[in-house]
Amino acid sequence: MSVKSRYAEAVMNTFGPPKVALVRGAGAHVWDEDGHEYVDLLGGIAVNALGHGHPALVAAVTEQLQTLGHVSNFFTSPPAVELAEKLLSLTGREGRVFFTNSGTEANEAALKITRRTGRTHLVAATEAFHGRTMGSLALTAKAAYREPFEPLPGHVTFMPYGDAAALAAAVTDETAAVILEPMQGEAGVMVPPADYLAAARRITAEHGSLLWLDEIQTGMGRTGRWFAAAADPEVAPDIVTVAKGLAGGFPIGACIALGDAAFLLEPGNHGTTFGGNPPACAAALAVIGTLESEGLLERATVLGEKLRDGLRADPRVVEVRGEGLLIGLTLTEPLTAEVAAAALAAGFILNNATPDRIRLAPPFVLTDADAEAFLAAWPAILDAAYEGEK
Ligand SMILES: *Cc1c(COP(=O)(O)O)cnc(C)c1O
């Protein structure tokens, strides 16, 4: 029996059936159990920054496991301290870091920080995605994700993303924090107006509220910058959460609190067994070091432009968005499921984020040849999806 067919009898059905069972990866390519090869243009949803099996990542994790694999939080280890220092230096600010194992846990830590302001009201955006645990879910807009689990904790006001006037109207002197993604990834890479995040900073400052940027998808070089907005002095958030690409696929997240917000959680306020474990931190340091030494942020900018230009050339694409290697596009018709299926059949992995919005978040090691092969196949992929509909 194939892995794919065994799945349904053993693995809980929370995701629906897997499209294929993947057994191997190298660079930006993966192979399924039947031997089919795919170009991975999704990178495990903006996670596999260095692609699959990168030697620097393999070596870092292997050496760290051979040296020291786990310590409890009664102790610390060099990789955790070094990674915290590195993340702070990338923000260009003073602060403190709390390590977790995932994005949603980074957001839970941040949510606890907001409670220590003495306020409980939170403001989040429509179409926002912040994770699936109860606190993060309370900040996630999508009704289908929320409703089966209500009541959710806290007092949250949702306002339209990208609308500074709506944000100003939602924030009061009771507001603990505003949480925003610099670009909304799960919504299909929605990009706000240029001055939106700076406006969010001004509005939160007026009310003594924290500005919390969820850079779990947009951070760690994905947009061609270390952070999409967190290092912008006009935005200067109080809290930044990162995860996904941080360790290139090794599970880790981080809640980075900056300025005075760094001291809101006190001893005993929060904890985790695995957060900040040495192999995960060593993996993150290897990813960051490789992105730096191989000039991969610049590469993301150049490759992203090339992909966006090629995608936009087809008249069935009405809009192309994003920066670096976080790419979203909208189709003339709600056919993204058909497009993703046609792409898979043609040997390319991409994501139907919504019925009419496609998302790409390929590894930074995607080659020009792979990008060109995909752009050459793109019109025929759209033909297959659009013709199937007639
Ligand atoms: C993926 C994501 C999360 C949740 O991260 P997990 O590791 O899946 O818990 C939260 N916020 C944003 C913006 C994300 O893209």
Q: What is the DSSP string of 120-137?
A: -EEEEETT----SSHHHH
Same domain for 303 and 189, yes or no, is no
Helix (H) or strand (E) holding 255: strand 253-258
Whether residues 24 and 44 share a domain: the answer is yes
Same domain, 333 and 193: no
Q: How many helices (H) and strands (E) does the chain have?
A: 13, 15
Pocket of ligand 1 contains residue 279 by CB under 6 Å: no
Atom of ligand 1 nearest to the CA of 186: 15
> For ligand 1, atom 6, which residue shows the shortest CA distance?
103
Told to judge if 129 belongs to the known catalytic residues of this protein, a careful annotator would answer: yes
**pLDDT of residue 208 exceeding 80:** yes
> Do 213 and 362 reside in the same domain of the chain?
no
End-to-end CA distance of the chain: 35
Distance of CA 31 to the CA centre of its chain: 24
Mean of pLDDT over the chain: 97
- On the question of pLDDT at 357 being above 90, the answer is yes
Question: At which of 249, 274, 293 does a domain end?
Answer: 293
Residue 147 burial (CB < 10 Å; 0-12/13-18/19+)?
exposed
Q: 118 and 163 in one domain?
A: yes
Residues 40 and 147 in one domain: no
**Identity (one letter) of the amino acid at 246?**
L
pLDDT of residue 390: 62
Q: Are residues 124 and 198 in the same domain?
A: yes
Q: Strand, coil or helix: what is 236?
A: coil
Domain that holds residue 216: 56-293
pLDDT of residue 258: 98
Based on the domain organization, do 179 and 287 belong to the same domain? yes
Query: Residues 227, 373: one domain?
Result: no
Nearest residue to 276 (alpha-carbon basis) of 14, 79, 65, 24: 79
Q: Whose CA is nearest to atom 15 of ligand 1?
A: 217
Q: How far is CA 200 from CA 182, 195, 358, in A?
A: 11, 9, 27
Tokens 């940027």 belong to residue: 213
Share of the chain above pLDDT 90, in %: 99
Residues that constitute the known binding site for pyridoxal 5'-phosphate = 103-104, 129, 214-217, 273
User: For residue 311, what is the domain's CATH number?
Assistant: 3.90.1150.10
Single out the residue in 293, 327, 345 at which a domain terminates.
Answer: 293
Pocket test for ligand 1, best of 48, 129, 136 (most atoms within 8 A of CB): 129
216 close to ligand 1 (CB < 6 Angstrom):
yes
Angstrom distance (rounded) from CA 34 to CA 300 = 31
Res 388: pLDDT: 81
How many domains are contained in the chain? Answer: 2
Read off the amino acid at residue 229.
A
Of the residues 226, 261, 293, the one at which a domain ends:
293
pLDDT one-digit tens code per residue, 166-185: 999 999 999 999 999 999 99
Q: What is residue 160's predicted lDDT score, i.e. its pLDDT?
A: 98
User: Is the pLDDT score of 249 beyond 90?
Assistant: yes
Residue 389 has pLDDT above 90, yes or no: no
Do 28 and 74 lie in one domain? The reply is: no
Same domain? For 133 and 245 the reply is yes
Q: Whose CA is nearest to atom 10 of ligand 1?
A: 130
* Statement to judge: residues 104 and 223 lie in one domain: yes
Helix (H, G, I), strand (E, B) or coil at 74: coil
pLDDT in tens, 280-315: 999 999 999 999 999 999 999 999 999 999 999 999
Q: Left if phi > 0, otherwise alpha if psi is -120 to 50, otherwise beta: which for 46?
A: left
Asked if pLDDT for residue 50 goes beyond 80, the answer is yes
Adjacent-strand bridge partners of 52 = 27
User: How many other C-beta atoms lie within 10 A of the C-beta of residue 274?
Assistant: 16
Interval between CA 45 and ligand 1 midpoint (Å): 10
pLDDT tier at 229 (50, 70, 90 boundaries)? very high
Q: Which atom of ligand 1 is nearest to the CA of 214?
A: 13
| CATH number for the domain harbouring residue 91 | 3.40.640.10
Answer whether residue 158 shows pLDDT above 90.
Answer: yes
Cβ-based neighbours of 81, under 8 Å, separated by 6 or more: none
